[in-house]
Amino acid sequence: MVPSAGTDSVAGYLADSAESQPTLSVGVGASAMGHVMASKNPLVFDDLSGEKLITPAGRLTQQKHGFKAGALIPLLANHRSIGVLVVFDKRIRRFTDDEVSLLTAFADQASLALEKVRLLNEAEREKERAETEKERSDALYRVSNLLAGAHDTEEVLDLIVNESARLLGTSFCNIRLLEGGALVVRVATGPAAGRLMEAGATLKVEEGTSLAGHVMATKKPLHGKAAAQMLVPRAIQFMAEQGRDPEAVVIVPLLANGQSIGTLMCSDETHGRRFTDNEVSLLSAFADQASLALEKARLLNEAEDRERQATQLYEVTNQLASNHELDSLLELISARAVELLGCQGSAIFEYDSDRGGLVAIKTYNFLSSMVDSLFFKPGFGTPGGAFEQRKPVWTRDRFSDSSIARSGTDSEAAPPRCGGQRRRVGSNNHSGEDIRRSKHLVLRTS
């Protein structure tokens, strides 16, 4: 129980009482006021000095201000105690039954007024909550509609960070995406963009290394004190220089098919701002929309790539079918392999029995000085491996791949050709689809 209101004549008493007894326990026998509130029955005494329910601190305060008699009446709302009406007198006197009845009537009026205010406040909060929910639903609906018809992923992501900032009442939001093993800022609100450039826009993806990196690694949201504890010293210093509260932050992961692909973060410059669970839930919903937009873009790109590759393979197949001159045919294959795989160069090898190894019989985009040095013993390099194993061999990085003998290129792939010849294609990164396409070309020459 805490003091709420009083007449001018008890202002000094309330101030002293709040200092000596900031709160009073509610319970039968705990204190005079606590007893009345717990028992829901009035308490009347004509002399405070002899009342056992008054606490020592309360007795000293009442004596200081000269109070002697008193009447304590419970405030009841729906049979529930919500407070106590207290009347003091500086004379020793006994409050009559009629006076207690009158005070009880006043207490009932006070209870009604307080209950009305409580209900009005609840209704107002419910109205605000409903309006907020509608606004959030409308925002998610707009994003969903845009996502359904948009081919511009940047437009969707930009809308998401700006709507997140608007609905959370802040101006600092950004989306980071995983690129090459690091988290890179993809989109940000205006105020966030400049500050991120100052602080450094790239972060590692590891637990405990940074706030965004930790959330990305754990796939769980963070906000408030837990988020502040994950900030690296450099970030804490940067936020202090900007006058920002390190706990006024919320960050959620972007998940696609159970895998983390990025993070969505919002922070507030208002000291003491703490994001609620509902706000974290809203931000998670926006993160889901961002993930859908990115996944849709990925699938569209893959479909377009497959269509383009199928068209190219069809064109190449037609060209191969109409070309009957071997040298021209090999030249066409080596050139088309580079085009289809997006690599830097290609070579077709043939086994030379006199030298006991594979020599290049056709190259594309190789320096002439390099061609004579292209020689592989069976089992060495990707051409030698494909020749010996009679199956495709490839590597992403031949310098770090211990299973591939050193051959002088960064990345290699070699499908075997069953007529005795072998070919090699150099590129930066080969997938199973790359190998399938290159093998398709080789089979056309067999």
Residue where a domain stops, chosen among 283, 299, 315: 299
Whether residues 154 and 293 fall in one domain: yes
Query: Which residue matches tokens 């994001």?
Result: 275
Q: CA 269, CA 393: separation in Å to the nearest integer?
A: 56
279 and 160 share one domain = yes
Residue 4: predicted pLDDT: 65
**Cα–Cα distance, 304 to 299 (Å, whole number):** 9
The contacts of residue 376 (CB under 8 Å, 6+ apart) are 349, 357, 358, 383, 384, 387, 407
- Which residue from 73, 69, 117 is spatially nearest to 92, judged by alpha carbons? 69
φ and ψ at residue 346, rounded to 5 degrees: -150, 160
Q: What was the pLDDT predicted at 208?
A: 62
CA distances from 323 to 234, 316, 362 (A): 64, 10, 16
List residues bridging with 105 in a β-sheet: none
Domain around 281 = 150-299
Whether residue 263 lies inside any domain: the answer is yes
Residue bearing tokens 């009482």: 17
Structure tokens at 246: 């390190």
Beta strand segments in 58-103, E: 69-77, 80-89
Q: Tokens 């405990």 sit at which residue?
A: 208
Handedness of CA 431, 434, 438, 443 (dihedral sign): positive
| Tokens matching residue 428 | 């930066």
Between strands 345-352 and 421-426, the pairing is antiparallel
Helix, strand, coil content of the chain in percent (nearest 5): 50, 20, 30
Coil, strand or helix at 29? coil
Same domain, 44 and 77: yes
Mark whether 270 and 203 lie in a shared domain.
Answer: yes
Q: Based on the domain organization, do 49 and 165 belong to the same domain? A: no
154 and 294 inside one domain: yes
Whether residue 17 contacts residue 61, with contact meaning beta carbons closer than 8 Å, is answered with yes
Inter-helix orientation angle 56-64/11-20, to 10°? 150
Predicted TM-score (pTM) above 0.95: no
* Burial of 7 from C-beta contacts in 10 A (0-12 / 13-18 / 19+): exposed
Instruction: Tell me the per-residue pLDDT of 351-384, one tens digit each, with 9 for 90 and over.
Output: 999 999 999 999 998 887 788 888 999 988 888 8
Q: Are residues 160 and 289 in the same domain?
A: yes
For residue 85, is it within any domain? yes
* 292 plus 183 within the same structural domain: yes
Strands 421-426 and 412-414: antiparallel
Select from 267, 299, 331 the last residue of a domain. Answer: 299
Question: Rounded to an integer, what is the distance from CA 137 to the centroid of its chain?
Answer: 19
Rounded Cα gap, residues 384 and 443, in angstroms: 18
Q: Do residues 288 and 360 share a domain? A: no
Q: Are 146 and 170 in contact (CB under 8 A)?
A: no
CATH label of the domain that carries residue 51: 3.30.450.40
Q: How many domains does the chain have?
A: 3
Residue 110 and residue 178 in one domain: no
Q: What is the pLDDT of residue 207?
A: 67
Q: E strands, 370-417, where?
A: 375-376, 393-395, 412-414
Tell me the angle at which helices 432-445 and 277-322 cross, rounded to the nearest 10 degrees: 10
What is the reported pLDDT for 194?
62
pLDDT (tens digit per residue) in 391-422: 888 887 767 777 765 554 444 455 554 443 33
Do 110 and 200 lie in a common domain?
no
- pLDDT for the residue numbered 340: 79
Q: What is the pLDDT of residue 149?
A: 65
- Is 89 a domain residue? yes
Residue 245 lies in a domain: yes
pLDDT at 368: 79
CA distance 186 to 247: 24
In a domain, 140, yes or no: no
Q: Is residue 125 part of a domain?
A: no
Last residue in a domain, options 79, 103, 120: 120
**pLDDT of 357:** 92
Do 197 and 275 share a structural domain?
yes
pLDDT averaged over 10-residue windows placed end to end, the chain, 446 residues: 66 78 81 87 85 82 85 90 88 89 91 90 85 76 68 80 87 86 83 60 64 87 87 74 83 90 87 87 88 84 85 80 82 84 87 92 86 86 88 78 58 46 38 49 44
Tell whether 244 is covered by a domain.
Answer: yes
Q: Does residue 427 lie within any of the structural domains?
A: yes
